[in-house]
Structure 1
Amino acid sequence: MTPPNPPAAPLRADCVGDSAGGLTFDVAARGNTGAALLILRRRDTDAEETVSLPLAPAAEGLLRAALPSSVPLPEGRWDAYAALSDGEPRRLVPGVTDLRSLAARTPGGLLGHVAVRIPYATRQGNLTVRSWLRAPHAETAELGLVNGGLTVRGRVYGTQLTAEAHAELRARTATDSEGGGVRRVDVVTERADFGFTVRYDALAPGDWDLWLRPAGESGPVVRLARLLDDVADKHPVLICPRARVLTPDGPVEAGPYYTDDNDLSLSVVPSTP
């Protein structure tokens, strides 16, 4: 009886980010003699959505594909595959990743949007690219604790701040009866930079999402997020300090956190005296 063929060794891809927000993939594939593609498949969509990039020889046994920032990649998680001349697309695993240029990047915002792509290893050890496409974008640069509250500093891209600019805290559930679930916060601006302070004692228990209105009520509503670095999932990595304060609803413990999409939110939970 002929033993079954052993499974093919996983294909490994090195990833390098550039200062414009693009990515280069180097796939180790010895013996490939025909056309090859790097395929990105968007996860959790009803219809299959893919982006195919040609893999061209870069050195002996090495194929290279480029994903420039000018190529549209809708927001989401994109699983990476390589389709070589010898068969069906095969899932890629991450090799060496160099994202130093992404962490030092300052987008111009001239296109009216900010595109961010960060490759990472999934729990199964496969290569996936997390993509964001924000138009416009409000980047959180610094969070600071103050007495009973939080200071937020950041910068907008793809739009301008006006004298009517302000921030909004929106309750994620309808448990906040006062103020209709929205708290308006004054903003200090300087060119593209903004800053504001949130008082925890004005918030009912629950989760509050942070938004910016760069032009006031008549302009866009922009979700605050931290995207311009090399961390694909900040929620389990960036743990922010919390504070205990007294509110009209009783004592609470409050603090900021980043969601699974790296958006900035606040958590307010009742605490025992």
Structure 2
Amino acid sequence: MAFGMGNPTADCIADSAGGLTFDLDAPGLSEACAQWSAALVLRRRGGDDESGEVRLPLTPNGDGRVRAVLPSTVALPEGRWDVHAACGEDAPRRLVPGLADLRSLVDRRPGPSTSPLAVRIPYATKHGNLSLRSWLRSPHAEAGDLLLDPSGLTGHGTLYRVGDPEAWLKDAVVEARLRRDSDVMRTAPVTADGPDFTFTLPFAGLCEEWQGGLDVWDLWLRPAEGAAARLARILDDVADKKQIFTYPAQEVDATYAPARVSPYYTVDNDLSVRIDERPPTAR
């Protein structure tokens, strides 16, 4: 068995361009890497074609470990990718996360470019294995600070991966799309300063369509012409924001009934707004 006992451990180093370097501790694997088939294997969950697997060569790095590099230029479709090591005829083995140096991802501000923005964040699964969350977006609307009060949501953001952000944002709006009926939309004007933008989305307009239960509105940044960009927060080192970035629900007197409204990040780190029934006041 080329790997020895146990699953290999991988340290990850991220660079500001979106690339990742993996250094593996795997007894016996350094010598086995002389085989042409030694590779780091990324498999996308739910992938059922060739685009669902990426193989990166494993080579000795000089200190008894082996290394694989995932450059930002290697296309990695959006999704969750499980990380394996394969060598010879052995079945690929899941990797266990080691140290992760993700400092370059914190407050990342990509340079000017029109190529798709590549974001890859390694994380430990609930079973203790190493996986990657990948995004590939162009254009990209990065959500920033969010301010709340009962009247609405004021949001800040930055636009990336367009040739002329100022022209793109001219006459742009934030568009809220009702998830249960995508033909129902509400818009809010955008104030731009270079690539940065601000908007205020009133809750009253969203609550007009609410008839009890849970409603979700997905937020997009839409230019006067061309395709819209989903508002999301992906330019940092947090792979799953839904349970980390939380906001207090605002009490709104909706037409149907008293409601609770709050923004939240989805499982894909996209920004949405939820409307639900206000629980009865405890007595």
Tell me what 1:68 maps to: 71
Q: Does 1:212 align with 2:212?
A: no
Kindly report the root-mean-square deviation, in angstroms, between the aligned alpha carbons of the 2 structures. Answer: 1.7
Work out whether residues 167 and 210 of structure 1, in 8 Å CA contact, stay in contact via their aligned partners in 2. Answer: yes
Q: Does 1:127 align with 2:134?
A: no
Tell me what 2:146 maps to: 143
Q: Does 1:115 align with 2:118?
A: yes
Q: 1:270 aligns with which of 265, 277, 280?
A: 277
Q: 1:28 aligns with which of 18, 25, 28?
A: 25
Q: Does 1:256 align with 2:263?
A: yes
User: Matches of 2:241 and 2:169 in 1, distance apart?
Assistant: 30
Query: Which amino acid in structure 2 is aligned with residue 16 of structure 1?
Result: I
Secondary structure of 2:105 counterpart: helix
Work out whether residues 112 and 157 of structure 1, in 8 Å CA contact, stay in contact via their aligned partners in 2. Answer: no
Q: 1:98 aligns with which of 101, 120, 123?
A: 101
Tell me what 1:190 maps to: 193
Q: How many residues in Structure 1 have an aligned counterpart in Structure 2? A: 261
Secondary structure of 2:111 counterpart: coil
Secondary structure of 2:104 counterpart: helix
Query: Which amino acid in structure 1 is aligned with residue 227 of structure 2?
Result: P
Which deviates the most, 138-147 or 41-50? 41-50
Query: Which amino acid in structure 2 is aligned with residue 212 of structure 1?
Result: L
User: Matches of 1:67 and 1:46 in 2, distance apart?
Assistant: 21
Task: Indicate the percent of aligned positions where both proteins have the same amino acid.
Answer: 48
Work out whether residues 251 and 260 of structure 2, in 8 Å CA contact, stay in contact via their aligned partners in 1. Answer: yes
Query: Which amino acid in structure 2 is aligned with residue 55 of structure 1?
Result: L
Unaligned runs of 5+ in 2: none
Q: Does 1:81 align with 2:84?
A: yes
Residue 162 of structure 1: how far off its partner (Å): 3.5
Work out whether residues 219 and 231 of structure 2, in 8 Å CA contact, stay in contact via their aligned partners in 1. Answer: yes
Q: 2:173 aligns with which of 155, 166, 169?
A: 166
Q: TM-score, normalised by structure 1?
A: 0.90
User: Matches of 2:201 and 2:95 in 1, distance apart?
Assistant: 44
Output one character per residue of 1:243-262: Cα deviation in whole Å (capped at 9) or x when no partner.
10112223210000000000
Q: 1:13 aligns with which of 10, 15, 22?
A: 10
Residue 85 of structure 1: how far off its partner (Å): 4.2
Work out whether residues 19 and 104 of structure 1, in 8 Å CA contact, stay in contact via their aligned partners in 2. Answer: no
Secondary structure of 2:204 counterpart: helix
Which deviates the most, 70-79 or 25-34? 25-34
Work out whether residues 187 and 195 of structure 1, in 8 Å CA contact, stay in contact via their aligned partners in 2. Answer: yes
Residue 239 of structure 1: how far off its partner (Å): 1.3
User: Matches of 1:104 and 1:144 in 2, distance apart?
Assistant: 19
Tell me what 2:44 maps to: 42
Unaligned runs of 5+ in 1: 1-6
Work out whether residues 21 and 105 of structure 1, in 8 Å CA contact, stay in contact via their aligned partners in 2. Answer: no
